[in-house]
Amino acid sequence: MKTNLGTVMITGAAGRIGSAMRIGLREEAERLVLADRVALTAQSPVEEVRRFDLLDPDAVTAALEGADAVVHLGGVPDEAPLPELLEGNVLGTHHVLEGARRQGVRRVVLASSNRLTGFYPVSTMVTPEMPPRPDGLYGVSKVAVETLGRLYADKFGLSVVCLRIGSFEDVPSEPRHLATWLSPRDCLGFVRAALTAPDIGFAAVYAVSANKRRFWDLEAATALGYTPVDDSEPFAPRLAREGDEEGNQPQGGVFASPEFTLRHL
């Protein structure tokens, strides 16, 4: 069902998820502001492109003028040196939240990550209320992102939804995806719900498809107003390996290995 989203800004609009959300939301927004530090071209009468760096707080605030909501997808997307992550993810998110506060934006949707809890074992069904156990420095930066969102919700009354995004892929391509896959259709459903759910002060939600093998609880997603529809199980005969579901393995898989972070230290 189509909704009227008003004016929505998407940061990181040139990225994989940003590009997909741009297509999915353009029919429902009166005005879609596409923000990135690389050049973009408007492809619809409702689209408006803005080129700037999230580290420029004045540019961020100016771009948010008149916005009803912002979907913040910009930042460093994977493991990196901590100073780079703090700058790109934490400081960039702070500029978005502060710009939203100054401009009176109704809803802020922050791209968090499943890797915020990647050190829980695969045998554990993790809920958003459980303490963070990041599987690397990237996960640490997303803990800070969510904490900033909570601060702005509690202190300044912003309505903030943090989506702990799973493995966004057209189809699952590795064994871990049998638990973590987030299909493009479900990703759009989660973002749409995060933009439109009423009476939200702060919420953290795992954005993952309805995978039979998932290890993240979806109760919060249901409360947000979205029930995912896709399931990775049809891909299991091709991808499943013996021992993949052993209970002592970290949910982050290779992301939780020392080597994955040591190269950035």
pLDDT 10s digits, 194-228:
999 999 999 999 999 999 999 999 999 999 999 99
What mean pLDDT comes out for the span 94-116? 98
The answer as to whether 233 is a domain residue is: yes
Q: What is the CATH number of the domain that holds 93?
A: 3.40.50.720
Domain range for 148 is: 7-262
Please state the domain count of the chain: 1
Q: Comparing C-alpha atoms, which of 211, 231, 228, 232 is closest to residue 220?
A: 228
Instruction: State the Cα–Cα distance between residues 194 and 205, nearest whole angstrom.
Output: 9
Mean pLDDT along residues 16-42: 97
Integer Cα distance of 231 and 214 in angstroms? 9
Question: Does some domain include residue 23?
Answer: yes
84 pLDDT above the threshold of 60 = yes
pLDDT of residue 243: 56
Give me the pLDDT at residue 1, please. 47
Domain annotation covers residue 1: no
- Range 21-28 contact pairs with CB under 8 angstroms and sequence separation of 24 or more: 21/71, 21/73, 21/187, 21/188, 21/191, 22/47, 24/184, 24/188, 24/191, 24/192, 25/71, 25/188, 25/191, 25/192, 27/2, 28/2, 28/3, 28/4, 28/192
- In the set 120, 138, 206, 226, the catalytic residue is 138
| Confidence band, pLDDT 50/70/90 cuts, at residue 240 | confident
Q: pTM of the full predicted structure? A: 0.96
Whether 152 is catalytic: no
Q: How many residues does the chain have?
A: 265
